[in-house]
Amino acid sequence: MAQLAIKPPMGWNHWNTFGWSVTETDIYECVDYLADNGFREAGYEFVTIDDCWMAGERGPNGELMADPKTFPHGMKALGDYIHSKGFKFGIYEDGGVRTCAGRPGSYGHEREDAAQFASWGVDFLKYDFCYVPAGADGKLLFRRMGQALRETGRDIVFSACWSGGECHEWARTAGAHMWRLSGDIFDNWKSISATGYHALDMSRYSGPMGWNDPDMLVAGLFGEGYVGRIGGGSTLEEYTTHFALWCILSAPLFLGHDLRKTTPEIKELLLNPEMIAINQDDACIPGWDLPCLDEFCRIAAKPLANGDIAILLVNGDDCPRWVGYSFESCGWSPSDKIFARDVIRREDIGVLDCGGSCYVPSHGCKLLRCTRVKS
């Protein structure tokens, strides 16, 4: 079998927009949007169907069945269409007796379900943790599904969606390629910043073939859709910080908005090749904290394969602030001269000594790609 998720996976998942009310028509139309608007070429690889794709009960032989009302053509046909557009097919299940939305879970059916997913051409499994029988060993349930997936002989990325607080300590041993660090993210600055900062504190657990997952992106929801209505909405400035933070974290990048309603500004953000390059850098080193004298700000650095360093400055305050940073904290000498580029605006800043400071708007950020000027 191939080595999977060497770099953070990228794709789209339906849950943040459609939640419980998804249909195959929604999926087909979003796949078409991804294919027609350059997202495949930018690296967004997986199209993942979340909860509520199943019928309410298993079939006569214990098999999982697609909901006949919302997915009348079945999952194999949907997967074939996703593949025909050049994407990989992701699906959702749960380690308990029921999914979080009350559909049939995989508890006691792990081997059969894994084989069924493989027969449908599934390339990615998001595996949740609801309605688990009392006393069941959660780690064992994830290891059981991880083993079942490997035994299919098909390359399937395994996403462990246990937000119990310690999944990062053992998920890799269960065969997971990414694991949730916390509960669901919502569409507001408080949730975005808290989720992202927590992931920044946990960066030491993340790396090739095993990534910290701070949850899917809410960029572009603008208060609409399932998670958008719960959170209330965010601004374009906040979405830009959200995306930049996930990029420097080396976090999986899974879009979550209704792609058919993508604004030009959100499209430009999510397709920014310089930001994606930082997330997908060959060194596969997650960002880590730099010293910051301001309680309202966070500064992170991510070493890149060619010797550059990406630096992210985040202003969490409700008013604009000047945010200072030091190149010495990144590992460079105080005498080094550093060429800096604003990756979000895609503009050169110029050569700097020792460090610098940036005027950062409220809930905004600056993402710099920095290169040492060699004498």
Buried b (16+ CB within 10 A) or exposed e, 149-183: beebebebbbbbbbbeeebbebbbebbbbbbbbbe
- The DSSP letter of residue 14 is S
- For 269-314, the DSSP string reads HHT-HHHHHHHT-TT-PPPEEE--S-TTEEEEEEE-TTS-EEEEEE
**Residue found by looking up tokens 């990048």 in the block:** 253
Clarify whether 184 is annotated catalytic.
yes
State how beta strands 178-180 and 211-213 pair: parallel
Report the SS3 class of residue 272: coil
Q: How many CB atoms sit inside 10 A of residue 75's CB?
A: 24
Q: Which among 26, 50, 51, 128 is annotated as catalytic?
A: 128
Residue 359 CA neighbour count, 13 Å, CB half: 1
Q: Which among 32, 184, 294, 317 is annotated as catalytic?
A: 184
Q: Which two tokens stand for residue 200?
A: 């920044």
- Closest to 78 (Cα-Cα) out of 125, 14, 121, 113: 121
Q: How many CB atoms sit inside 10 A of residue 202's CB?
A: 16
Clarify whether 289 is annotated catalytic.
no
Annotated catalytic sites, by residue?
Answer: 128, 184
